[in-house]
Amino acid sequence: MDRSKHLLRLCDWSGNRIIDTIRIAIRLKSEIREGKPSCRFAGKTIGMFFEKPSLRTITTFQVGMHQLGGMPVLLDPKSIGINQRESVKDIARCLSRWIDGLVVRCFEQSLVEQLAEYGSIPVINALSDEYHPCQALAFGQTMVEQFGEDLRGKTVVFIGDGNNVANSLMALSAKLGMNFTLACPKGYEQKKEEIELCLPDFKKSGGEYRVFNDPKEAVAGADILYSDVWISMGQEGQKNEKQSHFVPFQINDELLKLAPSHCKVTHCLPANRGEEITDSVMDNLQINLCYEEAENRLHAQKAVLWQLLH
Ligand code: CP
């Protein structure tokens, strides 16, 4: 399989392609603001298969496809019955005869991989248990808008679980020469194989990967702090045990005082206000860029479609 024909994991894309995608996203955003959208996808359709809940991703892919002149089609996982009513292979082959691309939110990364393997259309990972590449691209766009295109040496400090969002932000950082720091309780680090996947890119781009188990130590030198829920979708059973370890990893005004004065904050959303981030930080729109990042989901994903659909 040619992985560059899909967006399955961000580490499959080159740094140049990521920067090109961010440039396209910024252009598409300004076209919408000027009321002159490109109609590149007239007559084209994407399928949207979501096994997990969503506000931002499901809305922005649909609005984005409409803005580009194409049409999204919502596919109902219950009705399709993947691997129950029908095999992944047959679903992928049939969908490839009707639509031009497939956007998938699922539990297991292996599902997006199989859909890409068996079908002949681009597959876009809209979040799996392992990765969230669309979120990372929207974050990259937000960083370029804030700090300019050369992000080398900027430091992203992810405070929370070493989860799918952390994996994709780590990949983005490695590709663009940023430093990526994870601050998490002991035992909640990213998997060794995920880190190893990114180390060659860090070496090539000059970025650095670090892990701290003390959030106060981690924020020194940060350009941006990144927050996410402590309990990811599908981990609800682990809530009580996990939450107790994460209490010191809340982004609040006290923690922010230990970061450099220019340091910004963001969150992939949805946020559990009062848990991983306080109301006071969420509502401080001088430093909190999460709504810019949410807006950029729309444009970054249009740029992904621009790159992949022909
Ligand atoms: N950040 C994100 O993916 O939001 P949704 O889960 O609402 O799509």
Can you give the pTM of this predicted structure? 0.97
What percentage of residues in the chain have a pLDDT greater than 90? 94
Residue 224 has pLDDT above 90, yes or no: yes
- Looking at 6, 129, 228, 250, which residue is catalytic? 228
Which residue's CA is the nearest one to ligand 1's atom 4?
56
What is the band of 191 on the pLDDT scale with cuts at 50, 70, 90? very high
User: What pLDDT is stored for residue 116 in this prediction?
Assistant: 98
Q: How far is the CA of 235 from the centre of ligand 1 (A)?
A: 16
Q: Where do the H-state alpha helices sit in 177-238?
A: 192-205, 215-218
Residue 9 CB-density burial (10 A; 0-12 exposed, 13-18 middle, 19+ buried): buried
Task: Please give the pLDDT value at position 250.
Answer: 97
Q: Is the pLDDT of residue 93 over 80?
A: yes
Query: Exactly one of 132, 141, 198, 307 is catalytic; which is it?
Result: 132
**Cβ pair 227, 37 in contact under 8 A:** no
pLDDT tens-digit series, residues 231-255: 887 778 888 888 889 999 999 999 9
**pLDDT score, position 87:** 98
pLDDT digits (tens, 9 = 90+) for 127-171: 999 999 999 999 999 999 999 999 999 999 999 999 999 999 999
156, burial (CB in 10 Å: exposed 0-12, middle 13-18, buried 19+): buried
Output the average pLDDT for the chain: 97
